[in-house]
Structure 1
């Protein structure tokens, strides 16, 4: 519960403070000039310093062809696009949305932070389902799963991006820890809850020795999984 609460408060604080728009394209609007020339989400506009500078330039050159230097997967590309003279509400002249979070009021931030926490929790449960499915069907751990070494590497890169992104990472880790603890696996709170339900159904307590043995096996399996993931992270460095 504490980890869920921490994750919610951190995400809510991010919504409250907001993040400045970056030059990474988050969305390309359908039917826009950007879509027509082939711009894609994830592209980075390289020939402007800030999103605000780009927007001001576009507004000054509506109806004229402008040049956009784009970085895509380590490759430099050049696109020429003509910003629209007239736009519908909530649409830009070029038709791209930059990544960034607008600041919200406290109550709105708490509400949206809660919804984002629920969504992140659902995705985390789905991720563990995929992990279990992969282990059962193939005996392999999915490549996107990382351990302590991988987390340190991610944290180092995140730290360079700024405090807001560090808070996002901490919130993500907190929610992951909360979800892990709820899994119905021996040595975790979820496993203990499952044993209590079994005792209620059975009508008598599970022998202490059996409970210790089950939790011990579960703990060893968790340690082995963590060691495997850690070794794989080190090999990747």
Structure 2
């Protein structure tokens, strides 16, 4: 229920702001707005205000502003000056562009609120290095403090991920990452060509095999009736040794259990200050690439490390406005670059998300709290704004493309050309939505 409500509120807010952009500029340009609709279908609610019919409809996947227009219905002579199609081309362009720009404005306002409130950030410090990953091969160590990616300075984990995402896209050469270690500065060189195939999808998400969290060799959670619980392990047990061999970190324990399905292991643990021995036999689980061990155990996070890792970044109102402006610009630019890379094939279209994943993320962010939900709204608002500016007929960007041609030619494109463009646009949009929906189903249901 929370996921559904969070999704409906998000779509309702973003669509309303988008259509208010069209509505406001239309009114300022002297164009009569007949209807302002949130949603599609037969109206559930309808009222009149400011000489416009306002409606709320049951299909919450968009909305529209219907303006007086001779192309849709006859217009009385005395109302022709208030018809959309009789306006100069620059006014029509302003009205059409106002919707996507309103979404970018909303993102800016949301980021401004977030920056002024204070944003909890994670420092770009490496807590865990995943075994057999590009980062492990490059020599990353737990405790490395990342300072720059491909020459681009980074101040927090999110900036580091964005820099990696940007640097790795379509890359065929090694990537240098600067870090501070306990003994001074160092360069970690990621051999991108070597891992290009195996880690292609991870690279497209800016992942190289490092995590900000650091885990202790302490039992933090147990699977009900799992092998670890049946063997007698308890939450709070500190794992010391396996068959007499000391294992230094949680990654080493993961590797040991994974590589020993079905084999009894004598585990030495420290419980309430006293040494205890437990015989642990990992279950055999088919991973699709062979059998691996599984015991149903989760680690405890290193609380001291996490406390040092996190910080709250706050700004005064002018500083927050500047940070919000930069954040909106960076997010917009990253969205444009990602779309461009999808078109050129340097980024996989499998990363495209549709309404099911958006709804799922809306629910997850709402559970995390208001700040996370507002950040989600800002990100989606940027995405909607950028998507609507694409030069695809039926989108606002497609109309701007037509009006730009009209501005250059001195006359509109023929109706037959515009109609053909609309058909192509509908086909492209339908194919895009269908592909995104298939991606959603595959991610959420494993199809």
Shift of 1:141: 5.2
1:121 and 2:328 equivalent?
A: no
Any conservation in 1 of the 2:350–2:439 contact (CA below 8 Å)?
Answer: no
| Superposition RMSD in Å | 3.6
Any conservation in 1 of the 2:331–2:382 contact (CA below 8 Å)?
Answer: yes
Q: How does 1:1-237 map to 2 (within 5 A)?
A: 1-20=101-120, 26-27=124-125, 28-29=144-145, 30-33=179-182, 42-46=211-215, 76=299, 98-134=309-345, 142-237=349-444
Higher strand share: 2
Return the alpha-carbon distance in structure 1 between the equivalents of residues 300 and 183 of structure 2.
14
Q: Larger relative CO (CA 8 A, sep 6+): 1 or 2?
A: 1
Cα-to-partner distance string for 1:12-65 (whole Å, 9 max, x where unaligned): 1111111346xx6533433433999xxx95231456xxxxxxxxxxxxxxxxxx
- The unaligned stretches of length 5 or more in structure 1 are 48-67, 80-93
Return the alpha-carbon distance in structure 1 between the equivalents of residues 300 and 422 of structure 2.
56
Any conservation in 1 of the 2:392–2:425 contact (CA below 8 Å)?
Answer: yes
Return the alpha-carbon distance in structure 1 between the equivalents of residues 406 and 382 of structure 2.
29
Any conservation in 2 of the 1:186–1:214 contact (CA below 8 Å)?
Answer: yes
Any conservation in 2 of the 1:131–1:141 contact (CA below 8 Å)?
Answer: yes
Any conservation in 1 of the 2:215–2:301 contact (CA below 8 Å)?
Answer: no
- The unaligned stretches of length 5 or more in structure 2 are 1-100, 126-143, 146-178, 186-208, 217-247, 255-296
With structure 1 as the length reference, what TM-score do the two structures score? 0.68
Distance 1:69 1:106, change over 3 A: farther
With structure 2 as the length reference, what TM-score do the two structures score? 0.38
Any conservation in 2 of the 1:187–1:219 contact (CA below 8 Å)?
Answer: yes
Q: Give the SS at the match of 2:351.
A: coil
